[in-house]
A and B are shown apart, each in its own frame.
Chain A
Amino acid sequence: MKGWMGKFRALFLLGSLAFILSACGRDNLTALVPKGYGADISMQLIILTTVVMTFVLLVVMVLYVIVLMRYRKKKGDPVINPEQVEGNKTLEAVWTIIPIILVVIMAVPTVFATFHLADDADAEDHINIDVTGNQYWWHYDYQNEEISTSQDLYIPVNTKVYVHLITKDVLHSFWVPSLSGKLDVNPENVNTMYLEAYEEGVYFGKCAELCGPSHSLMDFKIVVVSQEEYDQWVADMQNFDSEKLELDAVAQEGKELFEEKACLNCHATDTQTYSAGSVPIGPDLTQFGDRSRFAGYLEPTKENLVQWIQDPESLKPGNLMTGAYPEVNDDEADKIAEYLLQLKPSEVSAESKED
Chain B
Amino acid sequence: MSSIAATGKRSFGSFLWDYLTTVDHKKIAHLYLAGGGFFFILGGLEALIIRIQLIKPQNDFISAGFYNEMITMHGTTMIFLAGMPILIGLMNAAMPLQIGARDVAFPFLNALSFWLFFFGGILLNVSFLTGGAPDAGWTSYASLAMQSPGHGVDYYILGLQIAGAGTLMGGINFIATIVTMRAPGMTYMRMPLFAWATFITSVLILFAFPPLTINLFLLMFDRMFDTAFFNVALGGNTIIYQHLFWIFGHPEVYILILPLFGIFSDVIATFSRKRLFGYTAMVFATMLIAFLGFMVWAHHMFTVGLGPVANSIFAVGTMAIAVPTGIKIFNWLLTMWGGQVTINSAMLWVLGFIPTFTIGGMTGVMLGSAVADYQYHDTYFVVAHFHYVIVGGTIFGIFAGLHYWWPKMFGRILHEGMGKFTFWVFFIGFHLTFFIQHFLGLMGMPRRYWVFLHDQGLELGNFISTIGAFLMGVGTIVFIVNIVYTAVKGEKASADPWDGRTLEWSISSPPPYYNFEQLPLVRGLDPLWIEKMEGDGTIPPGEPLDDVHMPSGSFIPFLMGLGFFVAGFGFIYQTDNGLWYLALYGGMAFSIGCMVVRSLKDDFGYYIPKEELQKALEGEAK
Contact = CB atoms under 8 A, between A and B. Distances in A.
A214 B451 CA distance: 9
Contact of B334 (A84, A88, A180, A209): A88
B326 A99 contact: yes
9 contacts: A23-B439, A32-B443, A42-B375, A49-B365, A103-B323, A180-B374, A181-B374, A210-B68, A213-B65
Interface string A44-74: 0110111001101100110110011001110
A291 interface: no
A173 B143 CA distance: 13
Given A73-B342, A207-B446, A45 B369 contact: yes
A187 B304 CA distance: 11
A26 B452 CA distance: 13
A217 interface: yes
A204 B338 CA distance: 55
B378 to A, nearest CB: 4
B468 to A, nearest CB: 15
B305 A186 contact: yes
B448 to A, nearest CB: 5
Contact of B450 (A53, A88, A102, A215): A215
A165 B274 CA distance: 58
Interface stretch (A114-122, A149-157, A269-277): A114-122
A272 B7 CA distance: 86
Interface stretch (B92-100, B167-175, B231-239): B231-239
Contacts of A67: 333, 336-337, 341
A68 B351 contact: yes
Contacts of A346: none
A81 to B, nearest CB: 6
Contact of B144 (A115, A171, A184, A204): A171
A82 B446 contact: no
Interface stretch (A89-97, A123-131, A258-266, A333-341): A89-97
Given A71-B336, A186-B304, A60 B446 contact: no
B308 interface: yes
B460 A170 contact: no
Contacts of B277: 85-88
A56 B281 contact: no
Interface in B476-492: none
Interface of B: 63-65, 67-68, 136-137, 141, 143-144, 147, 232, 237-239, 272-275, 277-281, 303-305, 307-308, 311-312, 315-316, 319-320, 322-323, 326-327, 329-331, 333-334, 336-343, 351, 354-355, 358-359, 362-363, 365-366, 368-375, 377-379, 439, 442-444, 446, 448-453, 455-458, 460, 499, 529, 533
A312 interface: no
A189 B304 CA distance: 10
Interface string A159-182: 000000001011101010110111
Contacts of A1: none
B340 A114 contact: no
A147 interface: no
A221 interface: no
Closest 8 pairs between A and B when the two form their complex, measured CB to CB: A181-B374, A25-B443, A213-B64, A216-B449, A26-B457, A191-B305, A87-B278, A53-B362
A208 B377 CA distance: 8
A63 B446 CA distance: 36
A30 B444 contact: yes
A206 interface: yes
B457 A30 contact: yes
Contacts of A22: 457, 460
B144 A210 contact: yes
A328 interface: no
A175 B363 CA distance: 21
Nearest to A80: B340
A87 B279 contact: yes
B450 A182 contact: no
Given A30-B444, A87-B277, A99-B326, A184 B305 contact: yes
A210 B141 contact: yes
A217 B369 CA distance: 29
Contacts of B448: 210, 215-216
A189 to B, nearest CB: 7
A115 B308 contact: yes
B143 A187 contact: yes
Contacts of A230: none
Interface stretch (A105-113, A279-287, A302-310): A105-113
B341 A87 contact: no
Contacts of A106: 319, 365, 369
A297 B232 contact: no
Contacts of A54: 362
Given A171-B143, A173-B303, A213-B64, A81 B375 contact: no
A22 B143 CA distance: 38
A216 B452 contact: yes
Given A85-B274, A88-B334, A209 B444 contact: no
